[in-house]
Structure 1
Amino acid sequence: MQPSTELELPTPKPVFQDLLDLRDDTAKPLYQQLEDQLTRLIGDGTLPPGTTLPAERQLAERLKISRTTVQRSYNALRERKLLSAQGRLGSIVQGPGPRLHPGMDRLKGFTEEMRELGRVPSSRILEREIVNDRSIASIFGHSSHIDLLKLVRVRSGDGMPMSREIAWYNLERAPGLAQADLSGSVYAMLADLGAPLIRCDQTIEAAAPTPEECAIFGFERPVPCLLIKRRSYGADGEMLEYVEGLFRGDSYTYRLSLHI
């Protein structure tokens, strides 16, 4: 007799609402929790483009929440182009949209880049302080006593977080940055202060996001990203900026044109 063998059946994937965890013990409203969690599931591919989500009433019944809560979340996701309405059939996942293909033909900041690509740029400042950092000062070619403005921001296009950026600026060359409004383009502000950036040296490498960056991008698990390091210089040849920006790899690629 042949020995009997047992077939291993694949473990069924949980339906997506089983992955949602709406809580009552937090100040964040339920509709925002639902929007954030659906954004994460769409961003990490758990809900790929083309997936049909239940109609508002059906999802409300399954989650035991009000239909209004689901409706507000769905509407917000539709405004962000992550969902499209399909009437009584529910909503279709659109995903984060096509990959962005910014060119590398000239020096430009994130704000200008997003506008050229037809997206509305925005920034959220996570940290802003004047520091003395010996290792960063050495990158600028100065001793450790130099004052540097450290700026940590989340950069978004059409409301979607596209990058987490850590930048340092030489306050000896641009002291006006210390008190300037940096909610918009720092490059435009440098130009207004009489210290425009003229050129940069830039490297791009693959990198994995940290847990903090995963939370910013809405990744349930790490997704390969692009780490861009840039050294930017003014007209006098002095280095004004050093920046390390992590760009999400699921919707961002760089385009480079080469000529003989």
Structure 2
Amino acid sequence: MVVEIAVVDAELAALYNGPGTESAPAYERVKQLIVSQINAGRWQEGDQLPSENQLVGALGLSRMTINRALRELSAEGLVVRLMGVGTFVAATKTASSLFEVKNIADEIQQRGHRHRTEVVYVREEDADPANAFIRDSIRGKVFHSLMIHYEDDTPIQLEDRFVNPAEAPGYLDQDFTQQTPNHYLSVEAPLTRGEHVVEAILASPEECRLLHIERAEPCLMIRRRTWSSRGLVSAARLVHPGSRNRLEGTFGTG
């Protein structure tokens, strides 16, 4: 649903200028206004908010002020900004496993949502000796895939994966719109060991374009390597928009 700004212009202006708001900076008052509409259930998960230009007109503020408010709400995970499309009320952050190697399609389906994959490329390349991620384990040729995983219509993970041809010789022949690399590799070369490294990053301009996020949005990146009993199977770089994901895991013996 798109929020009809023409209907709520006067109400938004009244809320923005309501009692007790005068001392707060303008961008904070805009944030409070939007949050109040979300908390009241007036703007619900997936609803498209009024555009920056519409909010400028309704509230009589500068575009810079509105942009800052929306940018901060996006960083806080309350809204999702899709370049060239608009700003939407965010869903509750999706949870991704930290300590287990799970199939992202299964995780999404368990949440009652639809998974789909957009394959950017799957190809054979010369193994780059400068790539420390695979340098000591894969020599000669390497399979390289890049794809985006969607939850319903929202991109939630960029998967950049190198695969050892000796462990999965049929990798290039798979249709990864029908199964994920994780599913295929777990059958072809069952996992015996894994390694995770988690970092907070800013994605590259091309990655931002593919994930439909702005350049300033922080991301969570997992570097994941998996081994079978015969050797390294794959090395993946998984990039998650920070406003759309959280990582969780448990540990201990109790």
- How high is the TM-score relative to the length of structure 1? 0.61
Q: Distance in 1 between matches of 2:250 and 2:219?
A: 22
Amino acid paired to 1:16: S
- SS, match of residue 259 in structure 1: coil
Aligned partner of residue 102 in structure 1, secondary structure: strand
Tell me the SS of whatever aligns to 2:196: strand
Q: 1:110 aligns with which of 95, 104, 116?
A: 104
State the distance in 1 between where 2:96 and 2:26 align.
41
Structure 1 residues 205 and 191: alpha-carbon distance in aligned structure 2, compared to 1, 3 A threshold: closer
Q: Which blocks of at least 5 consecutive residues in structure 2 are unaligned?
A: 1-24, 31-49, 56-69, 80-84
Q: Assess if the C-alpha contact under 8 Å between 1:114 and 1:120 holds in 2.
A: yes
Other-structure match for 1:254:
247
Q: 1:114 to 1:143 in 2, by over 3 A?
A: closer
Distance 1:144 1:138, change over 3 A: farther
Cα offset for 1:111? 1.8
Q: Is the 8 A contact 1:43 1:218 kept in 2?
A: no
The letter of the residue matching 2:53 is D
SS of aligned partner of 1:197: coil
How does the TM-score come out when normalised to structure 2? 0.62
Which amino acid in structure 2 is aligned with residue 189 of structure 1? Y
Note if contact 1:107-1:199 (Cα within 8 Å) is conserved in structure 2.
no
Is the 2:118–2:149 contact (alpha carbons within 8 Å) kept by the matching residues of 1?
Answer: yes
Unaligned runs of 5+ in 1: 1-8, 21-40, 51-72, 83-92
CA distance in structure 1 between the aligned counterparts of 2:150 and 2:224, rounded to whole angstroms: 19
Whole-angstrom CA distance in 2 between matches of 1:245 and 1:158: 19
Q: Residues 138 and 248 (structure 1 numbering): CA distance in 2 closer, same or farther, change over 3 Å? A: closer
Aligned residue among 188, 197, 207 for 2:201 = 207
SS at match of 1:205: strand
Q: Tell me what 1:45 maps to.
A: 74
Residue 174 of structure 1, CA deviation: 1.2
Would the alpha carbon gap of residues 190 and 220 (structure 1) be closer, same or farther in structure 2, given more than 3 Å must change?
closer
Distance in 1, Cα, partners of 2:94 & 2:237: 19
- Output one character per residue of 1:151-186: Cα deviation in whole Å (capped at 9) or x when no partner: 011111112100212100001121111222222211
| Identity over aligned pairs, percent | 19
Q: RMSD of aligned C-alpha atoms?
A: 3.5
Higher CA-based Rg: 1
- CA contact under 8 A between 2:159 and 2:238: conserved in structure 1? yes
Shift of 1:105: 4.5
Amino acid at match of 2:181: V
Paired residue type of 1:97? A
Q: Distance in 2 between the 1:152 and 1:179 partners?
A: 15
- Give 1:1-260 correspondences, 5 Å limit: 16=51, 18=53, 45=74, 95-132=89-126, 133-136=128-131, 139=134, 141-142=136-137, 144-145=139-140, 147-183=141-177, 184-192=179-187, 194-234=188-228, 236-260=229-253
Q: Distance in 1 between matches of 2:195 and 2:250?
A: 17
Looking at secondary structure, tell me which structure has more strand per residue.
2
Report the Cα distance in structure 1 between the residues aligned to 2:135 and 2:110, rounded to whole angstroms.
30
Aligned structure 1 segments of 4 or more residues deviating by more than 4 angstroms: 41-44
Aligned to 1:69: none
C-alpha distance 232-42 of structure 1, shift in aligned 2 (>3 A): same
Structure 1 residues 174 and 221: alpha-carbon distance in aligned structure 2, compared to 1, 3 A threshold: closer
* 1:10 to partner: Cα distance: 6.9
Superposition deviation, residue 42 in structure 1: 9.3
